Every structure is written in C-alpha cells, then in structure tokens.
Amino acid sequence: MYFSYNIKNKGIIKGDKALKYIQSLQNSQVKQWKKLLTKKERDRSGTFIVEGFHLVEEALKEGKVLEVMVSEQIELPPRLDIGAADVTTITEEISNALSDTETTQGIFAVCRQERTKEGVSAGKTFLLIDAVQDPGNLGTMIRTADAAGIDMVIVGRGSVDVYNSKVLRSAQGSHFHLPILRGDLGNWINQLKNENIPVYGTALENASTYTDIQPLESFALLVGNEGGGVNQELLSTTSANLYIPIYGKSESLNVAVAAGILLYYLKK
C-alpha cells in the first residue's frame, strides 16, 4: 500500500482503513517505544527502532518492520511502500521525544532483530569485531562488510550495542542486508579454524604485511578496539596476524578504514 498524501490531518486513512493517531506522551505505546531507546529493552523484546526515511525504507524492503510511526507534520513520498505494517500517526512532540537526531525526519519504524542460526555453515567470509566502542566505527564496518560481500558480522563483548541509534545511522541500512550476531569471539575462532577457515587478526607486533596473504574464497578477519587493538588472548589463537604499513607520520589507521582495506584485499 502506498501513501501519496499529506498527513497533517487527524482523519488519515490507509486504503479504507483508519490509522491510529496518538497525541499524548503518556500513552502506553509511546512509553514502550521510548523504552526501545535503551539496550535493555531492545534485548528483552528482540526489537529496535530505526529513524529516518532511508532506514525505514530499507527495513520495509527486507520485511523487518512491525510498525511505522509518522509525524503529522510530514508528507510520505509515493515510493514508500508500507505494505502490511501497522501505521500510527504521532504528534511532533512525540516525534521529537523518539528522535536521537538534532532535526528529526519524523518517521520511525519498530523492527525485528535478526535471529540467525549461529554457525560457520552460514557463510564463507566473516568479520569479527572485538570491543569496538565507537558507534560510528561499528556502523561503518557493518556497512563496509555489506559492500564487500561479507557473509556475516560477529560482534564480541565490550563493543557498543549493534542496535544503538548511531550505529544504525552509520550502517545506513546494512543491518537488514546481512546477519549481525553477538557472541563469544573465542568460540567463533575455534569453530572457524575447525572448519579450516583461516582467521586473520590485526596487530602491529608479531604480524605480517597483509599483502603476504593471497586473497581467499573463505576467511575471517578479526579487528579490535580503537585504542588497545585486538585482545591478546584472541590474537594468540588466530591463524596469522596482519598489519597495514604506515608510510606517513600517523601512528595508526582508524579501525573502520583498516577493516575496509583488509576486507576488500582478502575477498577473492
């Protein structure tokens, strides 16, 4: 079902169905949406909120949307296919309360979290992320893994929540394109190696230049914390550790940039 009209009035319809209209911040549904701004409630419910036209559209395309919330102040473009999702019109005040941006676009969606069966049989190429705390970095790496055709992203302990609003914005919809799991990286490394999938860590010491490795059809890349790098215990279990030479005066590369270089190089 397509929307092609301005929704500044209260008598909004979707086809021949009247849509729900909520005006109060004290409404129980609004309170539940606001809870989804916290990791605790996202984990409990298995859902999360996305904000903005692009993210909502990507979620709709992949069938991940449970409900859509639209400010009465905006007009939805004809291209936006809401489909069977429930739609609620909200006031500008509620829209501002749900927004994590300086200027909200006034459209939100509640989405299902990915429930992918864990196991290396789900793919041939993997990105493992250890304790990356900056949401922009994590989101950029998810987006880069998506662009590079990586099969799965596994995020370990100590990392920012994968459904944090800033991570979602940085990933630009890639959450809906590939599996993103949270798990014990040590267990994953063992599983991968047992399946003869090489695991390449990233390190500055006791490591080889990344070009010493030939591109592969199957591999896992392990990247780590912005300040401390990959946990040493994890590095001791990898197949080999790699580094990217620095030719200028910078001490190191941003972790998301480094991940992008290595993923594109390693992917055959």
Write the pLDDT tens digit of every residue in 237-264: 999 999 999 999 998 999 999 999 999 9
Beta bridge partners of 109: 50, 68
- pLDDT above 70 covers a percentage of the chain that reads 92
Confidence of residue 2 (pLDDT cuts 50, 70, 90): very low
- The predicted pLDDT at position 137 comes to 98
Q: Which has more pLDDT, 136 or 80?
A: 136
Strand spans (E) along 97-252: 107-112, 125-129, 152-155, 180-182, 199-202, 208-209, 219-223, 240-243
Q: What is the pLDDT, as a whole number, of residue 121?
A: 74
Residue 167 CB-half CA count within 13 A? 21
3-state secondary structure at position 108: strand
Cite the DSSP H helix spans in 109-251: 135-147, 165-171, 185-194, 232-235
pLDDT digits (tens, 9 = 90+) for 57-107: 999 999 999 999 999 988 888 888 888 888 999 999 999 999 999 899 999
Would you state the structure tokens that stand for residue 233, as one six-digit string? Answer: 């215990």
Residue 114 pLDDT class (50, 70, 90 cuts): confident
- Three-state DSSP at 72 gives coil
Q: Which domains, from first to last, does the chain contain? A: 13-112 (3.30.1330.30), 120-266 (3.40.1280.10)
Report pLDDT for 83.
Answer: 83
- The total of other beta-carbon atoms located within 10 Å of residue 208's CB is 13
Is there a contact between 222 and 126 (Cβ–Cβ < 8 Å)?
no
pLDDT digits (tens, 9 = 90+) for 147-205: 999 999 999 999 999 999 999 999 999 999 999 999 999 999 999 999 999 999 999 99
Nearest to 218 by CA among 255, 242, 192: 192
Handedness of CA 162, 163, 165, 169 (dihedral sign): positive
Choose between 190 and 114: higher pLDDT: 190
Q: pTM of the full predicted structure?
A: 0.92
Q: What is the C-alpha to C-alpha distance for residues 107 and 24, in angstroms, rounded to an integer?
A: 17
Find the mean pLDDT for residues 124-137. 98
CA–CA dist 79, 71 (Å, integer): 18
| DSSP letter, residue 52 | S
Residue 11 has pLDDT above 70, yes or no: no
pLDDT at 118: 64
At 5 the three-state DSSP class reads: coil
